Amino acid sequence: DVKVTQSSRYLVKRTGEKVFLECVQDMDHENMFWYRQDPGLGLRLIYFSYDVKMKEKGDIPEGYSVSREKKERFSLILESASTNQTSMYLCASSLGGAGNEQFFGPGTRLTVL
């Protein structure tokens, strides 16, 4: 079974703090993704990576950065958290190839006060 794990299920931070969200997958997937999910807006892609040390911006990268130093790990960084970054953050991974589904982690519900 593919397993995608995220470092925290719930996180509360203060405005201006630096926040790290970690994601690890154990199936040697090339591709990794970070999404946020908000009511009425659905899943939106923040950043993705198709290889180690490679990263590309998704649809809403402002205020975020990422790091992929190892194939199995993809980190999302909020340099200075703001209240509008309160959301559910979902990490996903997949094999390369158009027909391969993405496997999602359990999500981190981040609240920024």
Where does this chain bind another protein (CB under 8 A)? 4, 31, 33, 35, 40-45, 48, 50, 56, 58, 90, 96-107
Nearer to another protein, 10 or 69 (CB): 10
Task: Quote the CA–CA distance of 87 and 107 in Å, as a whole number.
Answer: 10
What are residue 94's DSSP bridge partners? Answer: 31
Which is nearer to another protein, 4 or 112 (by Cβ)? 4
Phi-psi region of 49 (alpha: psi -120 to 50; beta: other; left: phi over 0): beta
CB 1 to another protein: min, Å:
12
Q: Which is nearer to another protein, 10 or 84 (by Cβ)?
A: 10
CB of 29 to another protein, least distance (A): 12
Local structure of 70: helix, strand or coil: strand
7 phi/psi in degrees, rounded to 5: -65, -30
Q: How far is the CB of 30 from another protein (least distance, A)?
A: 9
